[in-house]
Chains A and B, each alone.
Chain A
């Protein structure tokens, strides 16, 4: 351990020295007597001070959690020699905190003692955190000498984003071939009633609608919509992150992405992920619990990497964007490169929905007249952009602070329902 002096040692040393010198200079033994206790404390403290031989181990009970959920951890402290005061400073990364209060604690240990200190941590934001670096500082009984050591044995804590409540998803225009929970537009074997038609040889007897057949005087059969799964690609904008007031658009975007992914995967849909920004990350569409874990863990690595290079949709591998997939773009609609990518995807015929993580709430209008004007112009530009996207047939859901995700997506569902009616 690194040995260092406490301010007390220097102070007492100075006082003792001044006292002795002053006693000689002024020829007053009282001053030497006043200085003597300080010298005695110094002599005793430095003579008795020994390296306490401290070992600290940090253990997390789990390496996965959900943001704002408690995580149990413990510090195991061992010492060879008695320590009057051992201060332990838990060096936690930004985004994590100790629930019981201070991230520093002091214990007193006897020689050879092992102490287990339980801790409760919390991740206030989703992400990957290296926790477990502990700074130990031991003091001798006279507090003259300090031994310090950093125990860098960090463990990775994965804090998954918390999920918003979502009862319904946005249905895609077209479904895939596999069985799922989405009622397909086409007719075939299924549960949902679609229509009736005349019986043709080969139709199953149980498909005959006897009541309608009796009315018509000829055999008619029920037609049904099959339940199919869909391919959904979550297209996350990681070019820009608008931050303010302890929140950020990227944080909200990741939470929305995790919510949508979980909801679609529960419906047996195949879900893929593209984080489109400075670093391009993707995950091929898949289904099941493992895909959900993979998807959320890929999301955890999402961050804004500043870049000035122009990215195009063509840089995304083709198998990541399967035909007939519903592409769900989650973006604050701030970076023109992402907007261009949305328009490009729409131009390629993809069924596209934009979930706009509205950054307006993060931006304060300036106080000057010019700043106010610029703010209003910016709002107008955003309105124009939304109108342009809707003109291309892209439904845009505005997700603001005061609007739940469910309500924001209802805007798109309504838009798409009306759009279908108009097309018919």
Chain B
């Protein structure tokens, strides 16, 4: 909910706020459904809805660079981590003592790293401030390359006994 609060707080118009609230509620319900039904694909769907809400809000406002993006990025990553962790814990596995704290500390560390990385990127974008077709093309190429790299890494298989 706190993740949804960031875009909702930016809404000036009541109608936009209500629409945003509805999307946030749907996202929350989707996340709950993912955890209750043990269906992991609903986790990115839920976060995608919140991300979409944030993106649409930014587009509607047409404001300058939002410094809250770093917080939103860290929040989204931690939410996703906790949701997947919760799904993993559905199996009755007897873990060693202290694993819960370790995992929690790891999630906190990830949040800090995400915050730092997103903050750095915000700073870079703010400094560069460039625009135009060339930047768009470079951005498209970078995004496509990143997506292809992710897909290639995900599809890699190792054979073994």
Question: How close is B99's CB to chain A, nearest CB, in angstroms?
Answer: 7
How far is A3 from B84 in the complex, measured between Cα atoms in Å? 19
Q: Which residues of A contact B56 (CB under 8 A)?
A: 26
Q: Which residues of A contact B117 (CB under 8 A)?
A: 36-37, 40
Q: Which residues of A contact B96 (CB under 8 A)?
A: 106-108
How far is A20 from B146 in the complex, measured between Cα atoms in Å? 9
Q: A15-B48, A28-B58 are in contact. Are A21 and B143 (CB under 8 A)?
A: yes
Chain A interface, DSSP helix/strand/loop, else mixed: helix
Q: Which residues of B contact A43 (CB under 8 A)?
A: 149-150, 153
Q: Which residues of B contact A31 (CB under 8 A)?
A: 51, 54-55, 58
Q: Which residues of B contact A36 (CB under 8 A)?
A: 73, 117-118, 121
Question: How close is B7's CB to chain A, nearest CB, in angstroms?
Answer: 11
Kindly identify which residue among A2, A38, A102 contacts B77, using a CB–CB cutoff of 8 Å: A38
How far is A3 from B159 in the complex, measured between Cα atoms in Å? 7
Please tell me if the beta carbons of A143 and B84 are within 8 angstroms of each other in the complex.
yes
Question: Is A361 an interface residue, CB under 8 A from the partner?
Answer: no
How far is A146 from B101 in the complex, measured between Cα atoms in Å? 22
Q: Which of chain B's residues has its CB closest to A98's CB?
A: B94
Please tell me if the beta carbons of B93 and A102 are within 8 angstroms of each other in the complex.
yes
Question: Is B151 an interface residue, CB under 8 A from the partner?
Answer: yes
Please tell me if the beta carbons of A30 and B52 are within 8 angstroms of each other in the complex.
no
Please tell me if the beta carbons of B94 and A13 are within 8 angstroms of each other in the complex.
no
Q: Chain B interface: which of A4-12, A306-314, A389-397, A404-412?
A: A4-12
Please tell me if the beta carbons of A105 and B95 are within 8 angstroms of each other in the complex.
yes
Please tell me if the beta carbons of B91 and A104 are within 8 angstroms of each other in the complex.
yes
B119-145 CB mask vs A (1 if < 8 Å, else 0) is 001100100000000001001101100
How far is A2 from B158 in the complex, measured between Cα atoms in Å? 7
Q: Which residues of A contact B106 (CB under 8 A)?
A: 141
Please tell me if the beta carbons of B51 and A105 are within 8 angstroms of each other in the complex.
no
Please tell me if the beta carbons of B147 and A34 are within 8 angstroms of each other in the complex.
no
Question: How close is A24's CB to chain B, nearest CB, in angstroms?
Answer: 6
Q: A7-B87, A37-B74 are in contact. Are A15 and B51 (CB under 8 A)?
A: yes
Q: Which residues of A contact B114 (CB under 8 A)?
A: 37, 40
Question: Is B23 an interface residue, CB under 8 A from the partner?
Answer: no
Please tell me if the beta carbons of B99 and A24 are within 8 angstroms of each other in the complex.
no
How far is A146 from B66 in the complex, measured between Cα atoms in Å? 37
Q: Which of chain B's residues has its CB closest to A44's CB?
A: B113
Question: Is A149 an interface residue, CB under 8 A from the partner?
Answer: yes
Please tell me if the beta carbons of B58 and A42 are within 8 angstroms of each other in the complex.
no
How far is A153 from B106 in the complex, measured between Cα atoms in Å? 35
Please tell me if the beta carbons of A104 and B41 are within 8 angstroms of each other in the complex.
no
By size class, the interface of chain A is: 35 or more
B70-99 CB mask vs A (1 if < 8 Å, else 0) is 101110110010001001100111111001
Question: Is B28 an interface residue, CB under 8 A from the partner?
Answer: no
B99-110 CB mask vs A (1 if < 8 Å, else 0) is 100000010001
Please tell me if the beta carbons of B84 and A7 are within 8 angstroms of each other in the complex.
yes
Question: How close is B58's CB to chain A, nearest CB, in angstroms?
Answer: 5
Question: How close is A143's CB to chain B, nearest CB, in angstroms?
Answer: 7
Question: Is A32 an interface residue, CB under 8 A from the partner?
Answer: yes
Q: Which of chain A's residues has its CB closest to B91's CB?
A: A104
A267-311 CB mask vs B (1 if < 8 Å, else 0) is 000000000000000000000000000000000000000000000
Please tell me if the beta carbons of A46 and B40 are within 8 angstroms of each other in the complex.
no
Q: Which residues of A contact B91 (CB under 8 A)?
A: 87, 104
Please tell me if the beta carbons of B147 and A105 are within 8 angstroms of each other in the complex.
no
Please tell me if the beta carbons of A33 and B84 are within 8 angstroms of each other in the complex.
no
Q: Which of chain A's residues has its CB closest to B70's CB?
A: A33
Please tell me if the beta carbons of A34 and B76 are within 8 angstroms of each other in the complex.
yes
Q: Which residues of B contact A7 (CB under 8 A)?
A: 40-41, 43, 84, 87
Question: Is B4 an interface residue, CB under 8 A from the partner?
Answer: no
* A316-364 at interface with B (beta carbon < 8 Å): none
Please tell me if the beta carbons of A10 and B154 are within 8 angstroms of each other in the complex.
yes
Kindly identify which residue among A9, A102, A149 contacts B154, using a CB–CB cutoff of 8 Å: A9
How far is A1 from B159 in the complex, measured between Cα atoms in Å? 7
How far is A17 from B151 in the complex, measured between Cα atoms in Å? 10
Q: A2-B160, A31-B54 are in contact. Are A17 and B147 (CB under 8 A)?
A: yes
Question: Is A101 an interface residue, CB under 8 A from the partner?
Answer: yes
Please tell me if the beta carbons of A108 and B99 are within 8 angstroms of each other in the complex.
yes
Question: How close is B158's CB to chain A, nearest CB, in angstroms?
Answer: 4
Q: List 9 other contacts, CB 8 Å, given A7-B40, A18-B48.
A: A8-B40, A20-B142, A21-B143, A22-B55, A31-B51, A37-B118, A38-B80, A43-B153, A85-B95
Top 7 nearest A-B pairs (CB, nearest first) are: A7-B40, A20-B143, A46-B153, A37-B114, A30-B69, A11-B44, A3-B158
Identify 21 residue pairs between A and B in the complex whose beta-carbon atoms are under 8 Å apart, listed by A's number. A5-B154, A9-B154, A10-B41, A10-B44, A11-B47, A18-B51, A20-B142, A21-B143, A26-B58, A30-B54, A32-B143, A35-B73, A36-B121, A43-B153, A46-B156, A85-B99, A87-B91, A104-B92, A106-B99, A107-B96, A108-B99
